[in-house]
Amino acid sequence: MNDDQLLRYSRHILLDEVGIEGQQRLVDSHVLVVGAGGLGSPVAMYLAASGVGHITIADHDAVDLTNLQRQIAHTTARVGYPKVASASQAMLALNPEVRVTALAHKLDAVQLNALVPTVQVVVDCCDNFETRQAVNAACVKHKVPLVSGAAIRMDGQLAVYDTRDDQSPCYACIFPPDHAPEEVLCSTMGVLAPLVGVIGTMQAMETVKLITGMGSRLTGRLQMLDGRGMEWHEVRLQRNAACPVCGGKH
């Protein structure tokens, strides 16, 4: 790192758990963020601020006025922009040293299988069950940790799936691909604005911990936030040996 980087990241470097070595891992790292909306906004901003050297962000949508209630990477002036272009501007304004690759389309299995092996962590910030399953399958195949978050109305959830650990379940162990839940969208159900910030910020924190070598103690745990009572609930997750995605792979 150069002198400017040592100054920019000095508050990280002061932490025994990070130090110069951990910060250098961040600077050298590549993270894939799937989704540039309510969750993807705080994830992208905090990863850029933390010094992740290369961030690939994928989203096929454009900024809409209704997004601005919670999607803090976007602005009124950028309504109509592709979300990934808007998020890129926000990240680079915060930290011009970050390399951003913006993919303004949905990622299919072929693209994921090419992209996932090039990253250290995948952060799932999408709101589409099919995409979540495709992302998970690629992470299992290439043994890349997946930081998964979701938020709707006043409820949020967070988990880390890391099949480098033989005991870790994958996303499909808990949410089987052939049992798609009823689709719920914030456009019809609503979502409390700060909730996505809470979950997205925690996704960013788990990502930074994974990269710097602190690891993640959320592996094998699903944390659920009830925003009404501000209560956290936790469920311990077990790997499904018959899982159609990871059952025979670890």
Q: Which one from 170, 173, 186, 246 is the annotated catalytic residue?
A: 186
Q: CA-CA distance, 110 to 181, in Å (whole number)?
A: 25
Distance of alpha carbon 43 from the chain centroid:
6
Burial 208-225 (b: 16+ CB within 10 A, else e): bbbbbeeebebbbebbeb
Q: Are 74 and 90 in contact (CB under 8 A)?
A: yes
* Pick from 196, 184, 227: nearest CA to 68: 196
E-assigned strand segments in the chain: 30-34, 54-58, 99-103, 121-124, 146-152, 155-161, 221-226, 231-236
Q: Establish whether 126 is a catalytic residue.
A: no
CB-neighbour burial class of residue 96 (10 A; exposed 0-12, middle 13-18, buried 19+)? exposed
Q: Are 63 and 250 in contact (CB under 8 A)?
A: no
Phi, psi at 204, each rounded to 5°: -60, -40
Size of the chain, expressed as the number of residues it contains: 250
Residue whose structure tokens are 């961040």: 26
**Active-site positions?**
186
